[in-house]
Structure 1
Amino acid sequence: MQQIQQLQNSINQYISNKKYGTTPVELYEPIYYIMALGGKRLRPCLLLMACDMFGGDVQQALAPALAIEVFHNFTLMHDDIMDKAPLRRGKPTVHEKWNANVAILSGDVMMVEANKLIMQVDDRILRPVLDVFNDTAVGVCEGQQIDMNFETLTHVTIDEYINMIRLKTAVLVAGALKMGALVGGADDAEASLLYSFGEQLGIAFQLQDDILDVYGDPKKFGKQVGGDIISNKKTYLLIKAMELAKGETLTELNYWISATEFNGIEKVTAVKNIYNQLNIREHAEAEMNRYAEQAILNFEKINLPNERKVILKEFADMLLVRDY
């Protein structure tokens, strides 16, 4: 079995060697640019691990792994336009470096390129792999729209939030794993168990991100701690606080949510104090652990020797025990 570092090296090498187009320059340069910004390469690595776990040829899985990464970066390119985000991984976003029209069109080409990469899988499994990819792509778009809808809603439930992150974040993790399993030779039942594992893992991963946004070390987290508080983003933590807060605490929380002019550090400190009073971190960690445990229960049902499952299990554990 290949180790995690080997798989990461394989996908990074494949990404750096991939050629798209050259002209018009404005169409293709942004693709090379965003793909070179790095990142954890989490989803393509999971696809390769799933293929390897079932005894498949990892080389045959590199094209669909890159397809997942190209699609993921396409969504980031378009999300950054919607969010008016100035930076991505510490560098100017594509719409800032070029313009929004360039970012839209380059993103469209990335979606086409992702489909071309998917088409490189063996004809025998092309249909089921393409079905997973298309269902995943639609789910991610649905999740993004629901997330944008949340911005104008005054009341969002925990269940609605969990469904949103399931679509926006978790189905891409799950889809990558199922595609890798199919390329590796798994039957549909085993591949579906791995999908369920990935879905629960993806939800736990996003809940961990919510926690780190408030309680993470800014030097390690890589972005502004408290950014979700400043923007009133409806994360698990804020929704739970609105559910539990009473009396003066609720009044203060509503004050900070409705304030149009404020000092960012003061707002983060005040809302974080409310979270601490209400034990919000503990509630969020309990929810995260619940989904992590469900993920492991699904993983344990997969009928493979433990030695074949150990690398993916270790990688999953690493994702959920992090401070960045």
Structure 2
Amino acid sequence: MDFILKYSEQLASEIEKVDFPHFPENLYHPLQYFLSLGGKRMRPVATILAGELFGVEFEKTKNTALAVELFHNFSLIHDDIMDNAPLRRGMQTVHEKWNPNIAILSGDVLFVKAYELLSKNDSNHLPSLLEVFNKTAIEVCEGQQLDMDFEQKSHVSKEEYIEMIRLKTSVLLGAALKMGAILGDASEENQQLIYEFGENLGIAFQIQDDLLDLYGQPDKVGKQVGGDILANKKTLLTILAKQDASEDETNKMNQIFKLSSDVEKVSQTISLFEQLEIESKCKEEIKYY
């Protein structure tokens, strides 16, 4: 795993070199603040690794990897606004530290900057890269909309949920790998195979993220514990709980979700989910993908 850390550190160094103006300060400082928070950088590292798999070195894949990372951070800034999330990576979100309007504009700049970096690729590869990138950007928006729509629905099936996280989260990992393969002149078959691998891995990561939201330590996951429960989000945990609960357990769950105390709501949800063995069931889904 040392090579992943190496590429992550190289990317962090390259992100610092991305040229952002200093004025207006309230536009550029927030996005630089957000980028400085770090993160796993799993998606851009995936682009580099896929390129390496097909014989391409870091220098040829770094701009595409950076484009993927900036796009991902753009989506996170906007997601945090829509989710009203107070924390990201253990620090204040941009809309909390500044305000939602500033966060929207700063995120937009990252989106445009991602295209600027992507456009630095040679003309032989750029059309294919743009095709993948544009399709993925739209799908991520579709996934986010479905996620918000689910908050108003009384019932969401496991299949609907998996499709939502496929669009919102996993297609970007698939695209990151595929773009690395494109730069390595991989066959269309291999491009598709590595894309599907990324999709499945992305679904597994998102289910793990759902688990960490409720069971993780705040100082390690960098987010509010039980944030999904408090936001009335439909995650695999709640979907499986409703699917497997008895009538009495369903009534209890409905009562818990109506609690006004955030602390009680989260603690009682954890207690009920333990009875229903939701954590182990989610881990089985992770293994499947």
TM-score, scaled to structure 2: 0.94
Q: Which moved more, 1:269-278 or 1:115-124?
A: 269-278
8 Å CA contact retained: 2:257, 2:265 = no
- Amino acid paired to 2:127: R
Render the CA deviation track for 1:268-316: whole Å, top value 9, x for unaligned: 232222222222222211111111xxxxxxxxxxxxxxxxxxxxxxxxx
- Amino acid paired to 1:52: E
Q: Which moved more, 1:265-274 or 1:4-13?
A: 265-274
2:156 alignment counterpart: 156
Give the 5 Å matches for 1:88-167: 88-167=88-167
Give the 5 Å matches for 1:274-285: 274-285=272-283
- Amino acid paired to 1:13: S
C-alpha change, 1:220 and 1:16, in structure 2 (3 Å) is same
8 Å CA contact retained: 2:87, 2:223 = no
- Amino acid paired to 1:153: K
C-alpha change, 1:9 and 1:240, in structure 2 (3 Å) is same
- Amino acid paired to 1:277: Q
CA-based RMSD of the aligned residues comes to 1.6
1:86 alignment counterpart: 86
SS in 2 for 1:220: helix
SS in 1 for 2:125: helix
8 Å CA contact retained: 1:56, 1:185 = no
Give the 5 Å matches for 1:235-246: 235-246=235-246
Structure 2: runs of 5+ lacking an equivalent: none
Give the 5 Å matches for 1:34-73: 34-73=34-73
1:297 alignment counterpart: none
- Deviation, 1:121, is 1.2
Instruction: Give the % identical residues.
Output: 49
C-alpha change, 1:228 and 1:103, in structure 2 (3 Å) is closer
- Deviation, 1:59, is 0.6
Q: Could you tell me which of 249, 266, 269 is aligned with 2:267?
A: 269
C-alpha change, 1:59 and 1:167, in structure 2 (3 Å) is same
- Deviation, 1:218, is 4.1
1:250 alignment counterpart: 250
Render the CA deviation track for 1:91-134: whole Å, top value 9, x for unaligned: 22222333222222222221111111111112111111111111
Q: Distance in 2 between matches of 1:51 and 1:286?
A: 31
Q: Distance in 1 between matches of 2:78 and 2:120?
A: 25
- Deviation, 1:192, is 0.9
